[in-house]
Structure 1
Amino acid sequence: MNQNNSLLAKIANGSLVLQIIGGIILGVILATISPDYAKNVSFLGDFFVGALKAIAPVLVLVLVMSSIANQKSNSQSNMRPIIGLYLFGTLAAALTAVAFSFLFPTHLVLAAGVEGSNPPQGILEVMNTLLFKIVDNPVNALIESNYIGILAWGIGLGVVLRHSADSTKAVLNDLSEGVSNIVRFVIRLAPIGIFGLVATTFATTGFDALAGYAQLLAVLVGSMLFIAFIVNPAIVFYKIRRNPYPLVLQCIRESGVTAFFTRSSAANIPVNMALCEKLNLHKDTYSVSIPLGATINMGGAAITITVLTLAAAHTLGIEVDFSTALLLSVVSAISACGASGVAGGSLLLIPLACSLFGISNDIAMQVVAVGFIIGVIQDSAETALNSSTDVVFTAAACEAAEKTLNELTAHI
């Protein structure tokens, strides 16, 4: 009995990253040896993703409310520089996608349309949707995982409860700790969940269907890798003035890998918050910046929208000049901020960007269909970039603020 307890303790305290890598390897092996059986373990992946999606809205509401209610009057949340990094990073991603698309122009073999989809018709519709999400009913916001609405209610309640009794604040703090403990338990299930996701993906989809879109995938993934390993580290170095790669690589390893397989920025919120806690970041900051990043920090989405739109223009023989490409970058960045934090959320914004070039909605929806075909790689890489960057920029802003504070203190 003690040996069993010792084994469970070793598993619980072992390296989560190594366990996830083991789950990936076992998933690939199972899909290769017995594809039919591999499909039957899909419930493991569905259970893990479902648990993350279930706890994330409650986690965001409770943490934001508790952090603001218990915040001291002279504390710094560092939200302004983080939002600046989010917006700048998303625009930089769109510009990078333009450059890669011009260097490696891609022709598309247009597929059938996507039935039942309802893409937004313009930037105003995207912004209007975001605005009305803020005033959503709080219960509905929790049910629908509307993180803009959840953030709004969490901030509002937190501000009001800052004037409540100390006992009320203590209850909120205990509730926050309780939800965080549940999150830690769910995250320990990641190796099992990712095993199920990998086995099912390899057994069901495979990669044969992606061969015809190899160049398109190369441009998409190449742009995302360039952002992850060149642009983001340069931005972080500018903020913290030291080697950025230890932080960047840790975030990719501990956040990006999980996000790659869950394919949902929203589902990865608990993982990111646990990583922020591990990095000893300010709870007042990451409890707001991480769910906000899952909504507006969408560099991967900006790349997807830009690359597929320019591929459609190139396929149709449409000449794209520099000024139009620059406008497309801005539109893609703004649209990406309104992308849904779920799998495939960025694809339905492609028709909006295609409208800049006069591409009809019917053809644009065929481009969306191409996106769904390559989604097993595109959406996974996009989510990994989006989610890991949330932690990278939050950590960079916190470290920069702490460094500035230390310098000011040293001069006093």
Structure 2
Amino acid sequence: MNVFSSIFQRILRGSLVLQIFTGIIAGILLAVIAPQWAGKIAFLGELFVGALKAIAPILVFLLVTASIANQKKNTQTNMKPVVILYLVGTFAAALTAVAASFMFPSSLELQTSQQQLSPPQDIGEVLHTLLFRLIDNPVNALMSGNYIGILVWAIGLGLTLRHGSESSKQVFWDIAHGVSQMVRFVIRLAPLGVFGLVAVAVSETGFGVLAGYAHLLAVLLGAMLFIALVVNPLLVFYKTHQNPYPLVLTCLRESGVTAFFTRSSAANIPVNMALCERLKLHEDTYSVSIPLGATVNMGGAAITITVLTLAAVNTLGIPVDIPTALLLSLIASISACGASGVAGGSLLLIPLACSLFGIDNSTAMQVVAVGMIIGVVQDSAETALNSSTDVVFTAAACIGAERQQQS
């Protein structure tokens, strides 16, 4: 019994990133050597992602409510610079995608079967949907994972509780931290979850399915890497006046790796919360900025929408001028904020961007189908960029505020 207890304690104290990497390698080996077994351990990945998605809405609601309710008056939360960084970063991602598409134009075989989906028809519909998500029933928002609605109700309840008794505030604080402890336990199961996710993905799709879309994937991944390793560090340096790469690489390693395999910004919220705590960031800031970022900080989604739209435009021989490209960047940025925080959410908004060039909905849906084919890599990389950037920008805003206070 003592031997098993010692092994368990050693696992708990071990590097989570190293354990996740081990899970990745083990998943690939299982899929290659014994693919018939990969499907049998799929439940490990499903359980892990399901647990994260189940607890994340409750964690966000309680943490935001408790943080605002217990916030002292005149406390600096640094939310304004975080929101600005989110908006600037998403628009910069769309501009980068336009530039990459012009420099390395892609073409598609638009002959795939159409998907039975219901994409938004125009930008007004996207804004309409966002508006009504704000006033969603709070119980339904928690059950459906509507983080915009959760944030609105949590902020409202937190503001009213600021006038309540200290004992009431303490109850919410204690419950929030109790849920946080549960989240830490779920996160420690990440290696097993990633093992199941990787084994199933490799066994079902293999590596050859991506060969036909190598150029398109190269443009998408190149643009995302440029944002992660060039644009984001520049924005961090602007805010902090420090070497940005230790922070950027830490976030990519500890947040991006998990997000890559869960393929869900919403499911990665607990991971980002834990990372912000380890970075010793301001809890009143990250308890709001992280769930907000999972909804509106969608640089990866903006890249996906823009690159796939311009690939369709190039395939159909439609000329694109600079003003139209800029308008596409703006539409892609706004639309990306409406993308759901689940796997493949950005693909549903491609027809909206395609409509700017007069591309009919049936053709646009074929572009969505292409996105689904390459989604095993594209959507994973997109989510890794989106989720890790949430922590990067939150940390940059907190560090920048501390620097200003010291100067």
What band does the TM-score fall into relative to the shorter chain?
A: over 0.9
Cα distance in 2, alignment partners of residues 20 and 353 from structure 1: 37
- Cα shift readout 1:63-117 (whole Å, capped 9, x = no counterpart): 0000000000021111111000000000000000000000000110113343320
String of CA shifts for 1:97-155, please: whole Å, max 9, x gaps.
Answer: 00000000011011334332000011111011011111110000001000000000000
Letter in 2 for 1:110: L
1:5-404 alignment to 2 at 5 Å?
A: 5-404=5-404
State the alpha-carbon separation in 2 of the partners of residues 226 and 39 from structure 1: 35
Of 229-238 and 111-120, more deviation after overlay is shown by 111-120
Q: Deviations over 1:160-187 (max 9, x none)?
A: 0011111111111110110000000000
Distance in structure 1 (CA, Å) of the matches to 2:65 and 2:276:
18
Alignment TM-score, normalising by the size of structure 1? 0.98
**What SS does the corresponding residue of 2:266 show, helix, strand or coil?**
coil
Residues of 2 paired with 1:167 and 1:95: CA distance?
A: 50
- Show CA shifts across 1:164-217 (max 9, x none): 111111111110110000000000000000000000100111121111100000
Assess if the C-alpha contact under 8 Å between 2:344 and 2:375 holds in 1. Answer: yes
* Cα distance per residue 1:286-308 (max 9 Å; x no partner): 01000000000000000000000
Please give the TM-score of this superposition, normalised by the length of structure 2: 0.99
Superposition deviation, residue 38 in structure 1: 1.2
Amino acid at match of 1:167: S
Q: What residue number does 1:410 align with?
A: none
Gaps of 5+ in 1: 408-412
Q: How far, CA to CA, are the matches of 2:148 and 2:76 in structure 1?
A: 22
When structure 1 is superposed on structure 2, of 202-211 and 307-316 the one drifting more is 202-211
AA partner of residue 294 (structure 1):
A
Note if contact 1:66-1:158 (Cα within 8 Å) is conserved in structure 2: yes
SS at match of 2:305: helix
For residue 346 of structure 1, give the secondary structure of its aligned residue in structure 2.
Answer: helix
Which residue type is aligned with residue 131 of structure 1? L
Q: Where does the alignment leave 5 or more consecutive residues of structure 2 unmatched? A: none
Confirm or deny: 8 A CA contact 2:114 2:362 kept in the other structure: no
Runs of 4+ in 1 over 3 A off after TM superposition: none
RMSD: 0.7
